[in-house]
């Protein structure tokens, strides 16, 4: 079928601001939006710039706004979005070119969460693994799925308002460790997250949860972090 | 280099965040409206004529009822989910219930306001 | 030039191997990791099934068995000293990952959970053994995340979205690399004592592949141009279960949990091909079996795919027939919830891309190009070895999928690659730092960037109308059809000619985008150049090897020929011509014997 | 593998967290007061014969003269206490809500300090006026 694709274009070396360009391509309804982008880049306009790698929703490269909502281009099929598609870059991050945004602030926020295991206690005497029950493991399973695509953070109205907000993706990273029974850094992370630019900026708008291509219950995880600050309970 | 990151209000509002995002927007508008309402309320109590005149306007009253009741009911939903994060999974159900309750109460309130406006 | 950086150790690639190398090198040397993508986007993150180690958390298991399975899996082409080294290090490697925080699934006792995988057996009974330590079906994702997190913790320097274009050698020693910064288009020179290549694979030379767009073989291609040989390039693994047409992988872990393959007639066919371990035979065997079924007309609807069935009723029925048991000895029984819990991502892929729910429906699968066994020849410390005498290039290292140690020989066992990147990534890092501690910086030539600049200029200034997208599709199609699972002289010859013709046409490629900032068109064209170079080398090596072994199956030479071909291929390109030489296989404990599963 | 709980000083229980709890607490308080108010209104409607709708109406929209609630305010100390509590709670809640909105949009430390000062002064002034009016009529 014929698909009409309207794409946001911005070439920093020529344009003062972005504009839209419309392309018509032949595509199958089971094609990914990414396939359509590749086709346009391959045959119509090679200068179209976007990131991609894995092509099946596990690397987090190609988050973008498709028909007004954040998606991974490689995990969105034509049959899900119809024959008229508008593709725009993520909101709230600088557009570097076409659909490519500057991801550095996003990763900087991630790094503020001390996103690594903190545990200075001695290892088990037998030198083997630290024990963890399947239930304890399940406690933070959700948040380990994050591929850092930024679809959530760039859909959050609080992040649009100010990029000082750490954003849902960073909170998910913190959640991953706070509720890991082997980790001992929960306190430090909670202190960071209790700052004005931390979880206080989340007003449960749920855009993040709806945008997440990994179906992580982000708002719930943020809620759990908020409650942990109040009760101190980490289980 | 690069385009500014600013997301203007309209772009933000056009984001297709669906129902839950709408409740957030309405909650915010409602909260702000209630804040103004509260300010006027105090001024009215203090006897400021202009504030009182505003309050007597049926249209103003309806706006306040619509936004205020939404804020109160949505606020209750937020609070319940916040205190029991496990329930957040079911946020869509929660929001549907909320709309049902809201339409009932709000309908009744508008009726009351209109009746008073007509009768008073 | 302005953009000159100096580090003792430079790691090219931020995947599992690169991060591990960077992490260890940075402990003693000034280190930077250069990656063309943000490290968390590396393809290690796509790995699903698990990482093998004889932890024995459910049942008895030993590193010696792991070694034997790997040797057998490699069809006796793996170097046994390296394999033994790797399988012995495996247990500590996995435990180290756990200590770094990797969230492995757990046994009821709280230990690391393990699952069966193709080719992993109890050597005494021949039965499958649970050796693959896993974190749901996203083990690679967790490894990548965990290692990246450790690098953040240890403040490793990163150059994200810098693509390495050239390797600089002075007097036969590593001097550094040249890279382009994607966000500005500027070239940067990195002066280093040690350079570690960890750029991953090159599955994008094939049409149907589980590999990422980024898998364009940059590392091997760069080194090939510098006269460094590549080893065993004819061996490419086709994974039996890729999603039909898309090639997206369905982990072997699915079969580990009990799924079986079904042909178009609704019959289970693996017992015919591998009577003992059946659906859990090693990958080359299963891929060939599927292909044979299809060729003999038993594909689904006469098309080139079969079904993978993980519906609980089938799994339970067959598990009862095969007498498969749970770790505690009770009969293996699964439910829909178990499927969801053990392979959630696979279920998600099927739902999204196929509209098929694996819990109640069959998954259409076909073999998909998956893993490069061959690559840059190294020893077990990651040092690049250029001949059969063990001569190394001082300061040059390689690790991960782009390297060939060779622990995978002619066919890699599932889960051994994640082990490979962790073990050899670490040792390459350690060795590189050790070398850097004693060596001087080799002299950097005046204008190190000139070669890269002229490569780019050539692409930008191309005369003709050749289209990158079309050239690349032509290459992929011919490679998949003629240098794929089954190969023969005639087809490979024509494929080789086709690739060479494409190389000629590539010279005329015209890149329309003349900008500097994120000029992805230019970079895609450059990558296509690499792919074509690699495709040529793969086809030529495959044409040269006149036997069938592991992933290399020839219709015209259907048998393994130990008398003539128990040796590694080394291929170099000198003045535009390919030259092939050989290197003996290291055999220590296990003499080659027929490989039956 | 015992449960893990962080002591109060280590769980990030700062101003923001306190205000988060406060907002939830005020929700409960407001609902409590509204329900109490309605019950009071119902009781009064029984006494005065005013109909329910009137009570609701006058409860939420103040009228300078002849205000049922206004009259009611003067009625008892208890009612005055309740209305004061309501005003204070609403004031705290609303004022912090506005601060939240301001904090979302302005992240420079200097601006945040100013919005905080402004909001606190607003709260104090508004509460004072309200208290004066309620207790002096
Ligand atoms: C779908 C799938 C499932 C798999 N499942 C398993 C499994 O269950 N078990 C198992 O053991 N193995 C599995 N494998 C294999 C295994 O995941 C890979 O072989 C392994 O992760 C490769 O790691 P690496 O570090 O070598 O490469 P990668 O992780 O791909 O890293 C390559 C890095 O190099 C960088 N790079 C490349 N070119 C350049 C350049 N020119 N300049 C700068 N940087 C560059 C990239 O940015 C990237 O960071 C699987 C593979 C796939 C595709
Ligand atoms: C029963 C009545 C009310 C309930 C249940 C209620 C509930 C809530 C809740 C739960 C929040 C927090 C939202 C969040 O953090 O995401 C909130 C915010 C707010 N409330 Fe109320 N509220 C009520 C009445 C009022 C009144 C009377 C005012 C005005 C004086 C008010 C003004 C605000 C403001 C300005 C916000 C901030 C809005 C935002 O951050 O988007 N509320 N309310
Ligand atoms: S939480 Fe979801 S949306 Fe956010 S970065 Fe992670 S995967 Fe992407
Ligand atoms: S969209 Fe933003 S406001 Fe909270 S629920 Fe998600 S972080
Ligand atoms: S390309 Fe990897 S997530 Fe889409």
Q: Is C288 a catalytic residue?
A: no
Tens of pLDDT, residue by residue over C96-132, are 999 999 999 999 999 999 998 888 999 999 888 999 9
The number of distinct structural domains making up chain D is 1
The pLDDT of A55-63, averaged and rounded, is 95
Which pLDDT does position C329 carry in this prediction? 78
> Residue D68: pLDDT above 80?
no
Lowest mean pLDDT among B46-50, C335-339, C489-493, D112-116: B46-50
Which pLDDT does position D137 carry in this prediction? 62
Asked whether residue B32 is assigned to any structural domain, the reply reads yes
Shortest-distance Cα residue to atom 5 of ligand 4 = A204
Which pLDDT does position C324 carry in this prediction? 82
CATH classification of the domain holding A188 = 1.10.1060.10
A85/A132 same-domain check:
no
Cα of A54 from ligand 5 centre, angstroms = 5
Which pLDDT does position D53 carry in this prediction? 66
SS3 string of chain D? Answer: CCCCECCHHHCCCCHHHHHHHHHHHHHHHHHHHHHHHHHHHHHHHHHHCCCHHHHHHHHHCCCCCCCHHHHHHHHCHHHHHHHHHHHHHHHHHHHHHHHHHHHHHCCCHHHHHHHHHHHHHHHHHHHHHHHHHHHCC
pLDDT: which is higher, D10 or C479: C479
> Residue B81: pLDDT above 80?
yes
Which pLDDT does position C321 carry in this prediction? 86
Q: Is the CB of residue D97 less than 8 Å away from at least one CB of chain B?
A: yes
The pLDDT of A54-63, averaged and rounded, is 95
Of A95, A155, A223, the CB nearest to B81: A223
Tens of pLDDT, residue by residue over A162-190, are 989 999 999 999 999 999 999 999 999 99
Which pLDDT does position C447 carry in this prediction? 87
> Mind telling me how many Å the CA of A208 is from chain B's nearest CA?
9
In percent, how much of chain C has pLDDT > 70? Answer: 100
CATH classification of the domain holding A8 = 3.10.20.30
> Residue D69: pLDDT above 80?
no
Which range marks the domain in which residue A112 is found? Answer: 104-231
Pairing of the two strands C306-309 and C363-372: antiparallel
C-alpha closest to that of A212 among A162, A131, A143, A110: A143
The pLDDT of C205-223, averaged and rounded, is 96
Tens of pLDDT, residue by residue over C135-154, are 988 999 999 999 999 999 99
The number of distinct structural domains making up chain A is 2
Last residue of a domain, one of A56, A81, A101: A101
Q: How confident is the model at residue D64 (pLDDT cuts 50, 70, 90)?
A: very low
Which range marks the domain in which residue B110 is found? Answer: 22-117
A121/A218 same-domain check:
yes
> Average pLDDT of chain C?
94
Using an 8 Å CB-CB cutoff, list chain A residues near C520: 41, 49-50
Q: Is the CB of residue A161 less than 8 Å away from at least one CB of chain D?
A: yes
Asked whether residue D52 is assigned to any structural domain, the reply reads yes
Q: Is the CB of residue A229 less than 8 Å away from at least one CB of chain B?
A: no
A65/A139 same-domain check:
no
Q: How confident is the model at residue D56 (pLDDT cuts 50, 70, 90)?
A: low
Q: How confident is the model at residue D132 (pLDDT cuts 50, 70, 90)?
A: confident
> Residue A152: pLDDT above 60?
yes
- Rounded Cα distance, C533 and C218, in Å: 10
The number of distinct structural domains making up chain B is 1
ipTM: 0.93
> Residue C319: pLDDT above 80?
yes
Asked whether residue B10 is assigned to any structural domain, the reply reads no
- Rounded Cα distance, C154 and C151, in Å: 5
B42, B46, B69: which to substitute to probe chain D, counting the most D Cβ within 10 Å?
B42
Ligand 5: atom nearest CA of A73 is: 4
The pLDDT of C202-224, averaged and rounded, is 96
Which range marks the domain in which residue D79 is found? Answer: 35-135
Looking at the CA of C52, which ligand is closest? 1
Contact (CB, 8 A) for A12 and C517: yes
Which pLDDT does position B1 carry in this prediction? 55
Chain A residue with minimum CA distance to D112: A196
Q: How confident is the model at residue B115 (pLDDT cuts 50, 70, 90)?
A: confident
Which pLDDT does position D26 carry in this prediction? 93
The pLDDT of C478-490, averaged and rounded, is 94
CATH classification of the domain holding B78 = 1.20.1300
Which pLDDT does position A130 carry in this prediction? 95
With the most atoms of ligand 2 within 8 angstroms of its CB, the residue from D61, D93, D130 to mutate is D93
> Residue D36: pLDDT above 90?
no
> Residue C396: pLDDT above 90?
yes
Considering C283, C412, C487, C560, which one is annotated as catalytic? C283
> Residue C288: pLDDT above 90?
yes
> Average pLDDT of chain A?
95
pTM score of the predicted model: 0.94
The pLDDT of C520-548, averaged and rounded, is 96
User: Which residues numbered 135-194 in A keep a CB inside 8 Å of some CB on C?
Assistant: 136-137, 140-141, 144-145, 147-148, 177, 180, 182-183
Contact (CB, 8 A) for C370 and C210: yes
A93/A133 same-domain check:
no
Locate all alpha helices (DSSP H) within A73-148, ordered by sequence: 78-81, 104-111, 134-139, 141-144
pLDDT: which is higher, C581 or C465: C581
Asked whether residue D11 is assigned to any structural domain, the reply reads no
> What token pair was written down for A228?
């942990």
A108/A224 same-domain check:
yes
Q: Where does residue A70 fall: left (phi above 0), alpha (psi -120 to 50 degrees), or beta otherwise?
A: beta
Q: Do B20 and A205 touch (CB under 8 A)?
A: yes
Asked whether residue D19 is assigned to any structural domain, the reply reads no
Last residue of a domain, one of A101, A136, A163: A101
Q: Do A95 and B2 touch (CB under 8 A)?
A: yes
The pLDDT of C522-539, averaged and rounded, is 97
Last residue of a domain, one of A81, A101, A121: A101
Q: How confident is the model at residue C312 (pLDDT cuts 50, 70, 90)?
A: very high
Cα of B83 from ligand 3 centre, angstroms = 24
Using an 8 Å CB-CB cutoff, list chain D residues near B32: 98, 101
Tens of pLDDT, residue by residue over D20-30, are 999 999 999 99
Asked whether residue B6 is assigned to any structural domain, the reply reads no
A97/A168 same-domain check:
no
Of B5, B21, B89, the CB nearest to A207: B21
Ligand 5: residues with CB < 6 A are A 52-55, 57-62, 72, 74
Q: How confident is the model at residue A39 (pLDDT cuts 50, 70, 90)?
A: very high
> What token pair was written down for C228?
């460094």
A19/A88 same-domain check:
yes
Asked whether residue D15 is assigned to any structural domain, the reply reads no
Using an 8 Å CB-CB cutoff, list chain B residues near A63: none
């Amino acid at each position: 079928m014929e698909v009409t694709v309207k794409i946001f274009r911005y070439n920093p070396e020529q344009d003062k601001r972005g504009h839209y360009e419309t392309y018509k391509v032949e595509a199958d309804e089971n094609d990914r939006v990414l396939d359509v982008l590749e086709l346009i880049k391959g045959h119509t306009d090679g200068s179209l710039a976007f990131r991609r790698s894995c092509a099946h929703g596990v690397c987090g490269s190609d988050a973008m706004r498709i028909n007004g909502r954040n998606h991974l281009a490689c995990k969105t099929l034509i049959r899900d979005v119809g024959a008229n598609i508008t593709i725009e870059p993520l909101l709230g991050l600088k557009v570097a070119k076409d659909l490519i945004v500057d991801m550095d602030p996003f990763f900087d926020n991630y790094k503020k969460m001390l996103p690594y295991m903190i545990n200075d206690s001695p290892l088990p005497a037998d030198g083997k693994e630290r024990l963890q029950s399947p239930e304890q493991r399940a406690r933070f399973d959700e948040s380990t799925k994050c591929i850092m695509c930024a679809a959530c953070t760039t859909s959050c109205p609080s992040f649009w308002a100010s990029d000082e907000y750490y954003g849902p993706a960073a909170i998910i990273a913190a959640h991953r460790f706070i509720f890991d029974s082997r980790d001992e850094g929960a306190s430090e992370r909670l202190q960071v997250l209790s700052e004005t630019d931390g979880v206080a900026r989340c007003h449960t708008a749920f855009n993040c949860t709806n945008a997440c291509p990994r179906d992580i219950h982000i708002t719930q995880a943020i809620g759990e972090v908020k409650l942990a600050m109040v009760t101190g309970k980490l289980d | 280099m690069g385009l500014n990151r600013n997301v203007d209000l309209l772009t933000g509002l056009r984001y297709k965040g669906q129902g839950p995002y709408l409740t957030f927007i309405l909650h915010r508008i409602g909260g702000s409206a209630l804040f103004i309402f509260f300010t006027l309320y105090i001024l009215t109590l203090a006897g400021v004529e202009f504030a009182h005149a505003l309050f007597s306007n049926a249209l103003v009253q309806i706006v306040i009822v619509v936004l205020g009741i939404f804020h109160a009911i949505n606020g209750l939903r937020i609070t319940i989910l916040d205190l029991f994060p496990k329930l957040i999974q079911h946020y869509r159900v929660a929001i549907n219930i909320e709309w049902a309750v809201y339409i009932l109460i709000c309908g009744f309130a508008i009726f009351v306001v209109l009746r008073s406006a007509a009768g008073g | 030039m302005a953009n000159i950086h100096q580090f003792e150790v430079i790691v090219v690639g931020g995947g599992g191997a690169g991060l591990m190398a960077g992490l260890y090198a940075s402990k003693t040397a000034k280190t930077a990791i250069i990656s063309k993508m943000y490290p968390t986007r590396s393809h290690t993150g796509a790995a699903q099934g698990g990482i093998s180690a004889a932890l024995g958390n459910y049942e008895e298991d030993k590193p010696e068995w792991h070694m034997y399975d790997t040797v057998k899996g490699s069809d006796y082409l793996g170097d046994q000293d390296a394999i033994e080294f790797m399988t012995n290090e495996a247990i500590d490697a996995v435990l180290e990952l756990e200590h770094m925080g990797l969230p492995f699934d757990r046994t009821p006792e709280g230990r690391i959970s393990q699952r069966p995988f193709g080719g992993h057996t109890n050597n005494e009974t021949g039965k499958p053994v649970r050796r693959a330590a896993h974190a749901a079906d996203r083990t690679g994702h967790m490894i990548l995340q965990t290692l990246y997190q450790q690098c953040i913790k240890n403040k490793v320097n990163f150059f994200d979205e810098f693509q390495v274009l050239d390797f600089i050698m002075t007097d036969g020693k590593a001097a550094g690399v040249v890279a382009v910064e994607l966000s500005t288009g500027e070239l940067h020179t990195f002066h280093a004592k040690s350079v570690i290549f960890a750029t991953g694979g090159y599955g994008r030379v094939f049409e149907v592949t589980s590999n990422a767009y980024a898998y364009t073989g940059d590392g091997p291609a760069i080194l090939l141009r510098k006269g460094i040989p590549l080893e065993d390039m004819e061996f490419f693994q086709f994974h039996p279960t890729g999603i039909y047409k898309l090639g997206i992988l369905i982990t072997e872990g699915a079969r580990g949990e009990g799924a079986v393959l079904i042909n178009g007639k609704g019959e289970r066919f693996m017992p015919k091909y591998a009577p003992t371990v059946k659906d859990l035979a090693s990958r080359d065997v299963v891929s060939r079996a599927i292909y044979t079924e299809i060729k003999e007309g038993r594909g689904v609807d006469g098309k080139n795919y079969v079904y993978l069935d993980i519906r609980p009723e089938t799994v339970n029925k067959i598990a009862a027939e095969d007498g498969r048991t749970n770790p505690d000895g009770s009969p293996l029984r699964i439910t829909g919830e178990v499927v969801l819990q053990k392979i959630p991502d696979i279920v998600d892929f099927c739902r999204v891309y196929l509209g098929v729910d694996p819990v109640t429906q069959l998954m259409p699968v076909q073999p998909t190009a998956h893993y490069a066994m061959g690559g840059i020849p190294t020893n077990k410390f990651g040092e690049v070895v250029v001949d059969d005498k063990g001569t190394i290039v001082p300061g040059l290292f390689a690790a991960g999928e782009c390297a060939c140690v060779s622990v995978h020989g002619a066919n890699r066992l599932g889960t051994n690659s994640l082990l490979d990147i962790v073990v050899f990534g670490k040792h390459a890092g350690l060795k590189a730092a050790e070398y850097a501690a004693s060596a001087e910086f080799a002299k950097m030539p005046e204008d190190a960037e000139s070669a890269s600049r002229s490569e780019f200029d050539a692409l930008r200034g191309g005369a003709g109308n050749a289209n990158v997208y079309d050239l690349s599709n032509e290459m992929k199609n011919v490679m998949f059809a003629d240098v794929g699972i089954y190969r023969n002289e005639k087809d490979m010859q024509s494929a080789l000619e086709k690739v060479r013709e494409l190389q000629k046409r590539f010279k005329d490629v015209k890149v329309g985008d003349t900008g500097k900032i994120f000029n992805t068109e230019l970079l895609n064209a450059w990558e296509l150049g690499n792919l074509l170079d690699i495709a040529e080398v793969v086809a030529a090596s495959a044409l040269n090897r006149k036997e069938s072994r592991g992933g290399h199956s020839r219709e015209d030479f259907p048998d393994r020929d130990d008398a003539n071909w128990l040796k590694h291929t080394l291929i170099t390109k000198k003045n535009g011509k390919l030259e092939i030489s050989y290197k003996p296989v290291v055999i220590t404990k296990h003499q080659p014997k027929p490989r039956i599963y | 593998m015992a449960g893990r709980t962080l002591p109060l000083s280590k769980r990030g229980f700062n101003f923001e967290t306190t205000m988060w709890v406060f907002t939830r607490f005020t929700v409960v308080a407001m609902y409590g007061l509204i329900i109490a108010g309605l019950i009071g209104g119902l009781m009064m409607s029984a006494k005065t014969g005013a109909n329910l709708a009137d009570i609701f109406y006058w409860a939420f929209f103040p009228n300078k003269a002849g205000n049922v609630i206004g009259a009611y305010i003067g009625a008892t100390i208890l009612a005055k206490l309740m209305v004061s509590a309501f005003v204070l709670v609403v004031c705290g809640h609303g004022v912090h809500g506005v601060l939240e909105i301001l904090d979302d949009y302005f992240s420079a430390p200097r601006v945040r300090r100013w919005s905080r000062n402004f909001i606190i002064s607003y709260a104090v002034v508004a509460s004072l006026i309200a208290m004066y009016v309620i207790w002096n009529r």
